[in-house]
Amino acid sequence: MANATPVSHFQRGCEALEGKKLFILGAGSGMGAAIAKMAVAKGAKVALSGRSEEKLKRTASELGDAVLGIYPLDAVDSQAVDAALADKAPYDHIVTTAADLTFKPFVELSDDDIEKMLGSKFFAPLNIARGANQYLNANGSVLFFSGLAAYRQGEGSSIVGALNMALESLAANLAIEMKPKRFNVISPGVVDAGSWDFLSDADRQALFDSVAASLPVGRVGHVDDLAHAAIGLMENGFITGTVVNVDGGGRIA
Ligand SMILES: NC(=O)c1ccc[n+]([C@@H]2O[C@H](COP(=O)([O-])OP(=O)(O)OC[C@H]3O[C@@H](n4cnc5c(N)ncnc54)[C@H](OP(=O)(O)O)[C@@H]3O)[C@@H](O)[C@H]2O)c1
């Protein structure tokens, strides 16, 4: 008797990124740029967004004709986000890594510090989610980035922690309300990426050495660790409404 044709994961509702269209907010640096590069290596096309056109062009320069477009914008501007998404819609996946954070004690934060944090890590994801209602394919996904500060409290992380936690709740709710579109969150631990650019080289290295020594994996994260997880969440059609901690064991250390 002939064997039945094996059914692959991808036939069961998981879809490889080959030929898919991604919109990545935060693509000018760090994890957003790494996701763009890894997705293109897997055959996807990418639209790149963030505030700095120069940074987006730098990412685009490595990706050739896989770039659908570059969209410099401040993602607190809902109309700008809407117009950017509309341009080459529909998308298969939309990602936001946008973050403009200040790590200071709560009482020392200025209005401007707080506005930038809420803008990049709350209003930007909200605008992305609203755009996803119209410009994301029904079997597509949205990916937010939260962070370990949601779970590990420390001086200077009050608002960052609160916003991270808010995103995780938002994604789970939207996974129900906007089904079958999928909403997930990656919570990074300490990763060698743009979030730490405000530190001097010596301070950044000291932080990374100290964090690495405290983690079960013995190192801080690389942007490709995060890009790999992001691509897994996009490709796996059975994952929604959840948080994947890509933190080297930071929550349990
Ligand atoms: N690196 C870590 O250790 C770590 C740890 C925990 C969580 N995370 C989270 O992981 C994500 C990625 O981190 P990363 O280190 O890769 O950050 P990153 O390199 O600083 O990238 C963030 C990007 O967001 C863009 N951006 C900021 N505000 C924006 C706005 N209002 N509108 C549009 N774009 C905006 C920035 O570009 P422009 O300035 O050009 O706009 C930047 O390219 C962030 O959400 C961060 O909070 C990181």
Provide the pLDDT for residue 14: 85
CA 64 / ligand 1 centre spacing (Å) = 23
Q: Could you tell me which residues are beta bridge partners of residue 144?
A: 96, 185
Please give the Cα distance from 60 to 62 (Å, whole number).
5
Question: Closest residue (by CA) to atom 41 of ligand 1?
Answer: 51
Rg of the Cα trace of the chain? 18
Packing angle, helices 111-118 and 158-177, rounded to 10: 30
pLDDT (average), residues 26-51: 98
- Within-domain flag for 8: no
Contact 93, 45 (CB under 8 A): no
- Within-domain flag for 210: yes
As a whole number, the mean pLDDT across the chain is 96
> Is the Cβ atom of 127 under 6 angstroms away from ligand 1?
no
Which residue reads 């939207």 in tokens?
Answer: 174
Whole-number percent of the chain with pLDDT over 90? 94
* 34, pLDDT greater than 60: yes
Structural domain count of the chain: 1
* 5, pLDDT greater than 80: no
- Within-domain flag for 200: yes
List pLDDT tens digits, range 173-210: 999 999 999 999 999 999 999 999 999 999 999 999 99
> Is the Cβ atom of 119 under 6 angstroms away from ligand 1?
yes
For residue 241, give both structure tokens: 């409404």
- Within-domain flag for 251: no
List pLDDT tens digits, range 99-156: 999 999 999 999 999 999 999 999 999 999 999 999 999 999 999 999 999 999 989 9
CA 101 / ligand 1 centre spacing (Å) = 8
**Torsion-angle region of residue 75: left (phi > 0), alpha (psi -120 to 50) or beta?**
alpha
Provide the pLDDT for residue 11: 64
**What is the CATH classification number for the domain harbouring 90?**
3.40.50.720
- Within-domain flag for 1: no
- Within-domain flag for 21: yes
> Is the Cβ atom of 194 under 6 angstroms away from ligand 1?
yes
> Is the Cβ atom of 131 under 6 angstroms away from ligand 1?
no
* 12, pLDDT greater than 70: no
Atom of ligand 1 nearest to the CA of 31: 16
Task: Tell which residue, 40, 39, 42, 86, has the closest CA to residue 66.
Answer: 40
Where in the sequence is the domain holding 60, given as residue range(s)?
14-245
Packing angle, helices 158-177 and 124-135, rounded to 10: 20
- Within-domain flag for 3: no
CA 232 / ligand 1 centre spacing (Å) = 20
